[in-house]
Structure 1
């Protein structure tokens, strides 16, 4: 569905107070960033000084690098950086084409791209598509395991993520090959993966969930749409890929709620997140979204998925996010650029119109709305997501979702035009999602009288400020069959 924005002359507030309740409990902005302070360069640079010193690391000391897929061969920011992290020129890499439909081609391509940056790389024959290979023996082969242990970096290609997990951790049992990969990581090496190779990074992963709206409707179960990952980023961070391009924040939040995650990291295509201890650095061509549910709530009395007060931060190349402090440090060019602080008397927003999106799960819609809102005089933007072509007989065909993104007292943005165009960092916007009824079909012949009045709380009512509260579909959405 193409992304469509409707610019409205006015819009009704979701609630009388747009500031989330959680914001009052948070630490106040640094003194240099209060509304009375001018937005000088020194003020902007003070942001990074407010971040507490990280605690000494006691766990793995390596680098986990989920890459959001569609990684271009000329993306020097990513390819050169992971080689540098592994020791630079001459660093040894092993490549797993395990997930791929054509593992020989995929692995060979990754080997060539790593070698082009000075690495010494080798593909290992560990893939279900190699019909002549006995996988049970390969993952225990002393010679291959020795090659892994001698490596400084491990790279997983894209494809089908369940193949990686089922080969390296069949039935949840760690193989000697996987233990050797962990050995590389614990010694300070790099474990990187693109697309499917990124999905395996958390302890839980989406295995096969192409329909985001179905996940939002509660249609996901363990062993089918959801499965175990390999956990290189630890037990407290959930990772997803192709994230902004495919609107996957819509599936991330329901899974995070079901599994008890408080932090989620969605990495977009042609982009990497370098995770080292407490620090996440975004590098590459697009961006990443951090979803923080620490103070979010969900109303079990509603008959479908909902969330209130999810905190969102959008990062681009060179930005850092600090997992323990839940804080953002923009890149140096953005700190030299423009600060967007709605509470400052110096704030001069570019946008003044209300916006309502008809496709919240569209290509980069969430990032576009966040960067627009932080540079706007408005305090919120809204939109809907729904299934425009539901299956015949679907009891939840009319179940849609109303989104509200809004500013809090700690919402900040930074932007720069140093590299042509405009790059943004946005910290601490908030998101509410509520179930609504969207009658199907959503349109009819012009001039023809509708068969029945529009349902209360429809998308148009929400967009134009109708006073009737959105109503959930009468059929209860199934509870997700997952274990917390």
Structure 2
């Protein structure tokens, strides 16, 4: 059976990486990318946004374009940012606000307000509404979007949650189905995926609501299709902060999953989705990633807690029949990295009616020579770096019962 590597994709991806790094090097600003459901009491994230915007009194423009009720969302976000010391204001650019959104997005006065601010915050909701609002019908940037880029390149911060996180990469989910359906059916441009605004550059794919909704697996078909090497999925009430030096730090309630396809392969003779040799890492609160070099650095409470494979804390098989469950993937990874086992197995299936004619999937996690685990000295948290992940389609035979 022949396996085709991503060689051409890697060459193209490497070129895009050079272009992206060059473009990002010119930007002096930072990004705060929250994975959704960002609570108003998550002080570490909100304080970081305000600090990066210039500190107490910093002017931050709130763009509620994604929100179903942008007036209410904008007002609440202004109140939250103001509570943490910002001079926040709503920028009335949203498809669901009264008036012509195209006219508002190309209003020189609104663009000037953004340009002179220290930061911009994008609300959650529907990411398609953000690109609809800020891009002209011909695909060009509106005046407001150009102003956001100018503010960012000058040294300001761009922050956003949920939909506001999805737009950060050059490709975003648009009208995606369930995680399992995405694996089974793939993704198409203009349907499941669409162009984002690309603030984080072309080398990193971003997804949100990641762990609590079991979404890590849906990133893989997008990354394979679009040639991404790196994918970062951020959990709810958590944020990834990306500085102008391309250092990424995870802050907030939980963490983020990093997928690296640098050595991955796909069996093109298989019609169902499959991928082998993906490096998967879990970055916990306080962990850092150097996007340029790929170096991972654990948080201070884990720095002296490197897991010793010769002295495992867990024994026996590591297995789950629902790898797409709430935070299940992180639980499996944490057990495996500190286990007497070298492999863990997870399955993903739909119910019998949905499964007819559709593949299920096996997720095999393996410890390798590159795998490193760190355990916190103050909690039960782990950081897990570079497990190997192989995904292959499998069929499950359902027993036939006569319930009559």
Query: TM-score w.r.t. structure 1 length?
Result: 0.76
Q: Give the conservation status (yes or no) of the 8 Å contact 2:207–2:219.
A: yes
Output one character per residue of 1:197-233: Cα deviation in whole Å (capped at 9) or x when no partner: 0000000000121311111013422111110100000
Change (3 A) 1:408 1:78: same
Match of 2:281 in 1: 313
Q: Give the conservation status (yes or no) of the 8 Å contact 1:284–1:317.
A: yes
Offset of residue 65 of structure 1: 1.7
Distance 1:390 1:445 in 2: 15
Match of 2:298 in 1: 330
Distance 1:56 1:264 in 2: 19
Distance 2:238 2:174 in 1: 21
Q: 2:261 aligns with which of 266, 275, 293?
A: 293
Output one character per residue of 1:435-459: Cα deviation in whole Å (capped at 9) or x when no partner: 1001246x8589xxxxxxxxxxxxx
Aligned partner of residue 283 in structure 1, secondary structure: strand
Match of 2:357 in 1: 396
Match of 1:369 in 2: 332
How many residue pairs end up in the alignment?
381
Q: Give the conservation status (yes or no) of the 8 Å contact 1:341–1:411.
A: no
Match of 1:164 in 2: 130
Distance 2:105 2:308 in 1: 53
RMSD between aligned alpha carbons?
1.9
| Structure in which a larger fraction of residues adopt helix | 2
Distance 1:278 1:341 in 2: 30
1:183 lines up with 2:144 in the alignment:
no
Q: Give the conservation status (yes or no) of the 8 Å contact 2:174–2:192.
A: yes
Match of 2:343 in 1: 380
Distance 1:386 1:357 in 2: 12
1:339 lines up with 2:297 in the alignment:
no
Change (3 A) 1:78 1:389: farther
Runs of 4+ that moved beyond 6 A = 54-57
Distance 2:364 2:101 in 1: 48
Distance 2:211 2:82 in 1: 30
Change (3 A) 1:389 1:183: farther
Q: Give the conservation status (yes or no) of the 8 Å contact 1:341–1:412.
A: no
Match of 2:14 in 1: none
What are the residue-to-residue correspondences of 1:321-470 with 2, within 5 Å? Answer: 321-336=289-304, 338-342=305-309, 347-388=310-351, 390-391=353-354, 396-397=357-358, 399-418=359-378, 421-440=379-398
What are the residue-to-residue correspondences of 1:82-231 with 2, within 5 Å? Answer: 82-130=49-97, 132-171=98-137, 172-231=139-198
Aligned partner of residue 201 in structure 1, secondary structure: coil
Match of 2:247 in 1: 279
Q: Which runs of 5+ in 1 are unaligned?
A: 1-53, 447-484
Output one character per residue of 1:262-304: Cα deviation in whole Å (capped at 9) or x when no partner: 0000000000000124211000001001100000111101121
Distance 2:228 2:28 in 1: 22
Aligned partner of residue 96 in structure 2, secondary structure: coil
Q: Which runs of 5+ in 2 are unaligned?
A: 1-20
Distance 2:143 2:225 in 1: 32
Distance 1:390 1:166 in 2: 37
Output one character per residue of 1:286-323: Cα deviation in whole Å (capped at 9) or x when no partner: 10011000001111011211111100111111100111
Aligned partner of residue 58 in structure 1, secondary structure: helix
Distance 2:239 2:402 in 1: 47
Aligned partner of residue 280 in structure 2, secondary structure: strand
Q: Give the conservation status (yes or no) of the 8 Å contact 2:186–2:273.
A: no
Distance 2:177 2:166 in 1: 14
Output one character per residue of 1:94-143: Cα deviation in whole Å (capped at 9) or x when no partner: 0011001111111111111111111100011111111x211121011121
Aligned partner of residue 387 in structure 2, secondary structure: strand
Aligned partner of residue 80 in structure 1, secondary structure: helix
Match of 2:216 in 1: 249
Offset of residue 389 of structure 1: 5.1
Work out which structure has the larger RCO, using CA pairs closer than 8 Å and 6 or more positions apart in sequence: 1
